[in-house]
Structure 1
Amino acid sequence: MDLFVIIALLVIVSAFYSYINVRFIKLPGTIGIVTIAIVISVITIIVDSLNPSIARYLTILAKNINFSRTVLNIMLGFLLFSGSFSLNTKRLKKEMRPVFMLSTIGVILSTVIFGGLFYGVTILFHIHIPLVYCFLFGALISPTDPVAVGAIIKNSRLPVNLETIISGESLFNDGIGLVLFVTILEFTESGGDNLDFAKTALLFVREVFGGIILGVVFGFIAFRLMKTITDFQTIVLVSLALVMSISVVATFLHFSIPLAVVSAGLFAGNQTINIDSTEHSHQALEKFWQLIDEMLNTILFVMIGLQMTNLPYLNNYWLIGGVSIVVILIARWLSIMIPLAFFKKIVSNNIKNINILTWAGLRGGISIALALSLPYSPYRHIILAGAYFIVIFSVVVQGLTLNKVIDASIPKEEEK
């Protein structure tokens, strides 16, 4: 299928789903889009099994989209930049210690806990999957998704400090999550015999610190360029060029694209590009990137729903999905509680804040993209099925009930 036709069909389907949601269903944007996409994909699967010609075009569209490459190499940079550009850096600095703990130690703990628990449960239900593949599953599903988090918490009643922590964590934890994923994947492919730990450590340092330095340098250059002009069209082009150039250079140098883009967004967004007090270029640029964020979000979640038509059938499909959801919630809760035990202000006098942070830790397109990027193995479909169930549950169920969890945990006067 021609590239332009694929893009055109994606935009048309996204516009149709969005209109149906706004006009009739009236669920919060992202949740409504995902729900419609899932329902239509399930109907497509049923119709395709009865009469393939009727559902032909939607099925062909799903099969012609390289979801992993589209999300990780194209869309992710723009979505992360838009999220980090508008993030309140003063609040982030205040909550930097818990954000750092959760985006590093928390992700590692979640990976280990999830892998161990999932392995134990699969043994219990006589589903054979090696422990290393359980850890691989944990590495791709443990990082919270900045796109899903950003879309859901916009309409939530999260207290300001918790909103900053969950937003900051979701922006930064992809770097460590991707390195963990690549390392464990290399271990599975080599059989554990040729894994070089020194090389792995060097990879981590290069990916993380190289990405941060690249983002700050390019962010500074773009900021200085935008600061010297008032023509809004040129300012927008410079910001777009910033994201694209970072993606190209980071890919070439094997740096972390997510960390580079987030660093650039935080640096460029932290300082105003307005030349004087009467000029509003910075505010207009924020609105532009918010629009980009909302449109790409819609297309991304439509793509998630469409990819369900490619999901292979498994005999224990529902069992794997249900087990995965329970295990990731337990792993998430424990991986928050252990690091944040050192921050009594956040934990306060009870466990309620940890419950909120657990429920607000959503998974999204990045986890599915990583699952789809896995090379073929007897366990790929199990991981993919589990990832789909977790993502759908987190966006739809956790997204719809987040405010209820907040209301049950925090008195009204403490909310933002």
Structure 2
Amino acid sequence: MHQTVDSLLILLALAAVVAIGVRRIKIPYGTALLVCGLVAGQLDLVSGIGLDPSVVFYVFLPTLLFQAAVTTDVAPLARMGWTVGFLLVVGIPTTVFASGTLAHYLLGLPWATALLFAALTAPSDIAAVISILREMRVPPRLAALMEGESLFIDGIALLLYSTLLGVVLQPARTTDPVELVARFVWLALGGAMLGGAAGYVVSRVMREIKDHLVEVLLTSILAYGAYVAAEQLEVSSSIAVVTAGLVVGNYGLKHTISPTTQLTLMGFWDYSAFVVNSLLFLMCGLRVPLPSLRHFEAPILLAYLALHAGRTLCVLLCYAVTHRSRDGRLPRSWLPVMVWGNFYGSLSVALALALPAAVPERGTLVAVTFGVVLLSLVLQGVSLRWLIAWLKLAQLPGFKVEFDTYYGRMLAARGAQDELKRLHGQGLISREVYTHLRSRYQVKASRTERQLKLLYEKNRELEDREYQAVAAQMLRLERSLVTNAMRDRLLSEEAGAALLTEIDEALARSEE
């Protein structure tokens, strides 16, 4: 026990050092942790601790899923609902089938085993991808699309993994395709209903409680309780946790939870996910059998290419189907990012280690999975920023951040002036207090406006960016007005549909 505690402290210290270092060298945190774990494993710096799959599934996974869900805004996802839905319902099975087919022919794996390998590598490293997208300030719709897909892909992939594992272990009992599909649908819907109901109940209970620490405790019980309850009811535990987190994050936080609780809750879950993610990547690095991977160089490379070929097929199919849709049109410049931004992460390693000994070619699957994850996090993690910049999808760094800072200060000052005016108009503050504070905020707003003017003069691109942003905002306003007019029967369906198509095409052009 003492040795385990010492090892955990060493891992946390390594995580802190890496977290500080990646701010300077600009590589994904997960990639740096994995490399650090590799070095620590080769030097035998940490002992007495291993990557137990049961710990990953029952301790780490609920935390990661709930944190990602509770911090996700469903409004952008709803606007991309058709595209996200297609990627999840059609895209993931297509990717698994295509990648599994290639793995069967290229690696010589049995059919069921090849499909199982494709399923266990389907989960993505959501934290690494989202951190890069936010840092590079890609278009909001692209970030929302990839975040939404990454949020649900783990649940769908785990369902496929468990289903295909049953096929591999008991082929005679699970060969009926209709039965497999029906079971898959029941697991997904059952998990969603359980998580949604639990999230709603906990949100309502939190509304009656005024203790922010107890409210945060309730969300912890919800995350792990939904996971365990789903396991007992034999429905999807991962989808249950994700749905519960979405309900709390988009209903509870906005309608039933106090601001103090919101700050405490978000801080708690951000910290928890940070610690869990750090330990998971470091432990993966410690477990990678680096010398033995040299015997699997060709299979690893072939598997890596097969997985990317399957992902490419999925993205191209989604582009072809949604290209003419009103809400989900994908600009062509997004497609390479959607393919290359699909990182294979630590969950795949845990799934590979959890494979029973009876699975054919288990040793090959584990080694190839380790190699694929290592390649993905190093190659894609380092180069994704370059790809985004080359495609000109990144917002202006440097002075754009400076512009946002000044712009935010101006908005805050103007908002404070408006609030002071409201309070004074209602007789809630004296004229002396109103005059004094209003003058202070006027000075702050005027100073910020001068700084913004200087930035505009130095960087003409800012004016173009602002024009594009405001123009896109006006197009979204037009869309909302047309939709409301159609709902109120002020516009016919035919005329409204034509107008919406015209507006959506203009929006898509503005984001290309």
TM-score where L is the length of structure 2: 0.70
3-state SS of 2:135 partner: coil
The alpha carbon displacement at 1:201 in A equals 3.4
Q: Which deviates more from structure 2 when the two are superposed, residues 205-214 or residues 176-185? A: 176-185
Q: Which deviates more from structure 2 when the two are superposed, residues 270-279 or residues 332-341? A: 270-279
Instruction: Say whether 1:386 aligns with 2:368.
Output: yes
Q: Which residue of 2 aligns with 1:395?
A: 377
User: Hey, what's the Cα distance between the residues in 2 that align with 1:115 and 1:320?
Assistant: 13
User: Hey, what's the Cα distance between the residues in 2 that align with 1:96 and 1:277?
Assistant: 27
Q: Which residue of 1 aligns with 2:422?
A: none
Q: Which residue of 1 aligns with 2:302?
A: 323
| Partners of 2:163 and 2:184 within 8 A in 1 | no
Partner AA of 1:223 in structure 2: S
Q: Which deviates more from structure 2 when the two are superposed, residues 149-158 or residues 282-291? A: 149-158
Q: Which residue of 2 aligns with 1:125?
A: none
Partner AA of 1:333 in structure 2: T
Gapped regions of structure 1 (runs ≥ 5): 45-54, 123-127
Instruction: Say whether 1:86 aligns with 2:84.
Output: no
The alpha carbon displacement at 1:196 in A equals 4.3
| Partners of 1:340 and 1:347 within 8 A in 2 | yes
The alpha carbon displacement at 1:277 in A equals 11
Instruction: Say whether 1:374 aligns with 2:355.
Output: yes
| Partners of 1:341 and 1:347 within 8 A in 2 | no
Gapped regions of structure 2 (runs ≥ 5): 396-464, 466-509
User: Hey, what's the Cα distance between the residues in 2 that align with 1:20 and 1:194?
Assistant: 46
User: Hey, what's the Cα distance between the residues in 2 that align with 1:194 and 1:135?
Assistant: 14
Partner AA of 1:340 in structure 2: Y
The alpha carbon displacement at 1:209 in A equals 0.7
| Partners of 1:139 and 1:178 within 8 A in 2 | yes
Q: Percent identity?
A: 26
Change (3 A) 1:378 1:281: closer
Q: Which deviates more from structure 2 when the two are superposed, residues 354-363 or residues 184-193? A: 184-193
The alpha carbon displacement at 1:155 in A equals 3.0
- Aligned residue among 75, 98, 101 for 2:83: 98
- Aligned residue among 226, 230, 236 for 1:250: 230
Partner AA of 1:220 in structure 2: Y
Change (3 A) 1:7 1:243: farther
- Aligned residue among 138, 142, 153 for 2:122: 142
3-state SS of 1:229 partner: coil
User: Hey, what's the Cα distance between the residues in 2 that align with 1:221 and 1:249?
Assistant: 15
Query: Which deviations, in whole Å up to 9, do the C-alpha atoms of 1:354-390 show, x marking residues without a partner?
Result: 1110111112122111111112245112111221122
Change (3 A) 1:78 1:193: closer
| Partners of 1:89 and 1:270 within 8 A in 2 | yes
3-state SS of 1:375 partner: coil
How many residues in Structure 1 have an aligned counterpart in Structure 2?
Answer: 392
The alpha carbon displacement at 1:154 in A equals 4.2
User: Hey, what's the Cα distance between the residues in 2 that align with 1:5 and 1:219?
Assistant: 38
Change (3 A) 1:387 1:198: same
Partner AA of 1:319 in structure 2: A
Write the mapping of 1:276-355 to structure 2, written as runs, cut at 5 A: 279-309=259-289, 313=292, 316-344=295-323, 348=330, 350=332, 352-355=333-336
3-state SS of 2:248 partner: helix
3-state SS of 2:123 partner: coil
Higher relative contact order (CA 8 A, sep 6+): 1
User: Hey, what's the Cα distance between the residues in 2 that align with 1:74 and 1:334?
Assistant: 34
Change (3 A) 1:217 1:355: same
Q: Which residue of 2 aligns with 1:74?
A: 59
- Aligned residue among 11, 16, 32 for 2:14: 16
User: Hey, what's the Cα distance between the residues in 1 that align with 2:110 and 2:314?
Assistant: 23
Query: Which deviations, in whole Å up to 9, do the C-alpha atoms of 1:258-290 show, x marking residues without a partner?
Result: 111111111111135478998432233222211
TM-score where L is the length of structure 1: 0.85
Change (3 A) 1:7 1:70: farther
User: Hey, what's the Cα distance between the residues in 2 that align with 1:355 and 1:388?
Assistant: 24
- Aligned residue among 337, 345, 358 for 1:364: 345
Q: Which residue of 1 aligns with 2:151?
A: 171
Query: What is the root-mean-square deviation in Å for CA atoms of aligned residues?
Result: 2.7
| Partners of 1:324 and 1:390 within 8 A in 2 | yes
Instruction: Say whether 1:38 aligns with 2:38.
Output: yes
Between structure 1 and structure 2, the one with the greater Rg is 2
Q: Which residue of 1 aligns with 2:184?
A: 204
User: Hey, what's the Cα distance between the residues in 2 that align with 1:7 and 1:84?
Assistant: 30
| Partners of 2:230 and 2:237 within 8 A in 1 | yes
User: Hey, what's the Cα distance between the residues in 2 that align with 1:266 and 1:163?
Assistant: 17
Q: Which residue of 1 aligns with 2:49?
A: 61
The alpha carbon displacement at 1:102 in A equals 1.0
The alpha carbon displacement at 1:17 in A equals 4.0
3-state SS of 2:106 partner: helix
Change (3 A) 1:187 1:176: same
Q: Which deviates more from structure 2 when the two are superposed, residues 229-238 or residues 170-179? A: 170-179
3-state SS of 2:138 partner: coil
Q: Which deviates more from structure 2 when the two are superposed, residues 358-367 or residues 142-151? A: 142-151
Q: Which residue of 1 aligns with 2:142?
A: 162
Q: Which deviates more from structure 2 when the two are superposed, residues 360-369 or residues 338-347? A: 338-347
The alpha carbon displacement at 1:257 in A equals 1.3
User: Hey, what's the Cα distance between the residues in 2 that align with 1:253 and 1:166?
Assistant: 30
